[in-house]
Amino acid sequence: MQTNTKISAKQRVYEIIKYNIINCRYLPNSYLSESMLTSELDTSRTPIREALTKLEQEGWISIHPQRGMSVSDLSINEIAMVYETRLLIEPYVAEKYGHAIDKTCLAELSRRLGTINGNINKEEANEIDNEFHTLITKFSKNRYFIRSMENLIHQSHRIRTMISTRWDDDTAEHIAIASAILDEDYMKAASYLQTHLENAKKHAYNLLIQNGGWITPHET
């Protein structure tokens, strides 16, 4: 019973810290401390340390000798790596595995996209973006693609949280991709998906360069 409680506490702490990182409640490059997290999460240091060890292994935090730990960066180089990998995986999946995508689910998601107006908030926009790209990838049935995309989508979620949205463009691009898949034109879907990802990368680059760094979410 004690073992189950310990595992439960470790998992709970891990999930909360990771959620806060992905949603930029802990901003990129911000410093974290065990004492701060212990107080904030109302727990002991043991599950905090275990969670932080796992998060470091996954690349969500960096530990600096003599200086503590910080949330992983979202630099130009990081953005480049995220989108380079997504561009290698997603268009390929759309073209080679598009036939396996659940068309009913995709049609419903496309319908929802078409009914959302410009008043959507950033959290809702992020969630539906994640849902769209997850739907396309998971039907590849390639567990390496699926695992890689889970991490990449989380990193992209952080990027989108830190920038002003391009929701109207995103919506139109998502609908075009979905329409091509529903029409069984998988090569066109792959082309549209490549353009969509390149546009998203360019948007993130431009804002980061223009602002001289990230504008934090509460400043937008």
Q: Which pLDDT tens digits describe the chain residue by residue (220 residues)?
A: 344 555 678 899 999 999 999 999 999 989 999 999 999 999 999 999 999 999 999 999 998 877 789 999 888 899 999 999 999 999 999 999 999 999 999 999 998 888 776 667 777 778 888 999 999 999 998 999 999 999 999 999 998 888 766 778 888 999 999 999 999 999 999 999 999 999 999 998 888 887 666 555 544 4
* Per-residue pLDDT at 8: 78
Domain termination site, one of 11, 36, 71: 71
Number of neighbouring beta carbons within 10 Å of residue 167 = 20
Assess contact for 60 and 21: CB atoms under 8 A.
yes
Extract the tokens encoding 30.
């911000």
Whether residues 106 and 191 fall in one domain: yes
Assess contact for 135 and 102: CB atoms under 8 A.
yes
Q: Does 220 reside within a domain?
A: no
13-46 in b/e form (b: 16+ CB < 10 A) is bbebbbebbbbbebbbeeebeeeebbeebebeee
User: Whole-model pTM?
Assistant: 0.85
Q: Does 186 reside within a domain?
A: yes
Which residue from 152, 116, 119 is spatially nearest to 133, judged by alpha carbons? Answer: 152
- In total, how many domains does the chain have? 2
Q: What is the 3-state secondary structure (H, E, C) of the chain?
A: CHHHHHHHHHHHHHHHHHHHHHCCCCCCCCEECHHHHHHHHCCCHHHHHHHHHHHHHCCCEEEECCCEEEECCCCHHHHHHHHHHHHHHHHHHHHHHHHHCCHHHHHHHHHHHHHCCCCCCHHHHHHHHHHHHHHHHHCCCCHHHHHHHHHHHHHHHHHHHHCCCCHHHHHHHHHHHHHHHHCCCHHHHHHHHHHHHHHHHHHHHHHHHHHCCCCCHHHC
Whether residues 200 and 152 fall in one domain: yes
Domain termination site, one of 71, 95, 124: 71
Extract the tokens encoding 194.
């490549």
Could you tell me the CATH number of the domain that includes residue 199?
A: 1.20.120.530
Whether residues 129 and 44 fall in one domain: no
Whether residues 120 and 202 fall in one domain: yes
Extract the tokens encoding 134.
């997850």
Q: Does 42 reside within a domain?
A: yes
Domain termination site, one of 29, 50, 71: 71
Q: Any residues with CB less than 8 A from the CB of 154 and at least 6 apart, and which?
A: 22
Query: Whole domain around residue 101: which residue ranges?
Result: 76-214
Could you tell me the CATH number of the domain that includes residue 65?
A: 1.10.10.10
Q: Does 200 reside within a domain?
A: yes
